[in-house]
Amino acid sequence: MLITLALRNLLRNFRRTLLVEVAIIFGVIIIVFTGNFLHGMQRSWAQNEINANAGAFEIEDRDYIALRKAEPLKVTIQNSDQLMANILRIPGVRGAFGKLNFSGVVSNGSKSTLFTGIGLDVHEQKKTLPLQDNLVVSGRAISEKSGEIVLGSELAAMLELKIGDPVSIVVQTYYGSINLFYGVLVGTKNGRHFPASTYLEMNLAEAQKLLRIDQQVSQITVNTARYDEIDSVMHSTEQVLQKSTQALVLRGYAERIPIYATAIASFSVITIVVGIVLFLLVGGGIANVMAMAVMERRREIGTLRAIGMRQSQVRDLFLLEALLIGLIGATLGLILVSAISGLLASQGGLHLPAVGGTNQALIIVPQLDPLAYLFGLTMPIVVALFASWWPARRSARLHPIDALRF
């Protein structure tokens, strides 16, 4: 009976009900689409960072973080070739390559400065990080040819080097002696994962020869074929590492990307702020509608009370009307936002321009955010019940005689 009466009352004031429903639907679309968009942005941004430079995770010596600045060559991975061969056999692994981190002095012949260098297995890197070349801002990435060097864009500018200029490197070897390397600048890079003011990149085999180290790397970067497989591949890799005689650990991309935690926190704050604003707007609209309904239906309330309806039933009637308003608006809003997100995803998402001084574009495909959908469903219902509680309580307390005299 109450449900039938509540629906009849909503339809009787169709125009007012429609306005409230439009407000709720609009609020649900904004909240859920914002959540889907930010979830898609987070995923796309993370995938770009992973496929361009960070990889899904890295393997390194347990003490590497503590000693990488003071003694980086003392915490290298032994027998790295065999370990990488075992990792490449793990299902879901796209590729893996070794990196040898070192430091020294780089010079153009007249100017010199310190650098933090990386020796890379170029062949395996290209398979592991398909977007690596997007970080190149001038020239090209290093190849497997000998003598090629890539510098950070700021470091090259500091040394006034252009593509094709000769570069000399001085390093201290594993055994403490000094060694010299002559190369040619083939490109410059810029990225968020390394300091462009000190970055130097060369072929792994040449770096190992320069530092007098054989089959040793500082870290092994691993990438997965699919973003959703990262956790399972990391678990399988941990089982492989347990068989190693060396104490090795994994570090995931979330830990290795410096601004990852800040970016995720920013996305969460945006969603919360949008939700609070819409909560207040939608709640105010519903409260106003329910208060007007009580004022306009005082004679009706008096009649219902006179024929025997209890105070609790009158209150429940108004709360039920609010519940139906919130439920209908939330359902229609979720259907529409799902259609909008699906349509945008079918069109390839949104293509944002390159950022961070690179030619790396960002494609955002809205991704289903379960928390946003849950909030979009519950928020209108909770707001509707909360906003209608006082008008419903007020209507229930009306005396039948006073209501009929109104």
Question: Considering 198, 217, 246, which residue would you say is the last residue of a domain?
Answer: 246
Statement to judge: residues 121 and 202 lie in one domain: yes
What is the C-alpha end-to-end distance of the chain, expressed in Å? 26
- Work out whether the CA dihedral 156, 145, 219, 93 comes out positive or negative: positive
Statement to judge: residues 299 and 187 lie in one domain: no
Statement to judge: residues 68 and 209 lie in one domain: yes
Q: Residues 305-309: contacts with CB within 8 Å, 24+ apart?
A: 305/398, 305/399, 305/400, 305/403, 306/400, 306/404
When comparing pLDDT for 17 and 57, which is higher?
57
Statement to judge: residues 267 and 205 lie in one domain: no
Statement to judge: residues 79 and 139 lie in one domain: yes
Beta carbons within 10 angstroms of residue 162's beta carbon: 12
Q: Which helix (H) or strand (E) holds 61?
A: strand 57-61
Can you state the percent helix, strand and coil of the chain, rounding each to 5?
Answer: 55, 20, 25
Question: Considering 246, 276, 292, which residue would you say is the last residue of a domain?
Answer: 246
- Whether residue 219 is contained in a domain is answered as yes
Per residue in 105-142, pLDDT tens?
999 988 899 998 899 988 888 888 887 777 888 999 89
Statement to judge: residues 98 and 236 lie in one domain: yes
Q: Is residue 234's pLDDT more than 60?
A: yes
- Residue 259 is predicted with a pLDDT of 67
- Whether residue 56 is contained in a domain is answered as no
Question: Considering 246, 271, 293, which residue would you say is the last residue of a domain?
Answer: 246
Number of structural domains, the chain?
Answer: 2
CA distances (Å), origin 126, targets 96, 131, 185: 10, 8, 19
Statement to judge: residues 95 and 201 lie in one domain: yes
- Whether residue 58 is contained in a domain is answered as no
CA distances (Å), origin 405, targets 9, 162, 183, 395, 402: 21, 92, 99, 15, 5
The widest CA-to-CA distance across the chain, in whole angstroms, is 104
Statement to judge: residues 142 and 242 lie in one domain: yes
Q: Which residue has the tokens 């020796």?
A: 119
Structure tokens at 338: 């799902």
- In angstroms, rounded to a whole number, what is the distance separating the alpha carbons of residues 100 and 120? 7
Statement to judge: residues 293 and 231 lie in one domain: no
**Going by C-beta distance under 8 Å and a sequence separation of 6 or more, which residues neighbour residue 267?**
38, 39, 41, 42
Statement to judge: residues 95 and 236 lie in one domain: yes
- Whether residue 55 is contained in a domain is answered as no
Per residue in 324-378, pLDDT tens?
888 888 899 899 988 888 888 777 767 666 554 445 556 777 777 787 788 788 8
- Whether residue 317 is contained in a domain is answered as yes
Statement to judge: residues 36 and 77 lie in one domain: no
Return the DSSP state at 77. Answer: B
Statement to judge: residues 222 and 286 lie in one domain: no
The residue range of the domain holding 309 is 2-49+261-405
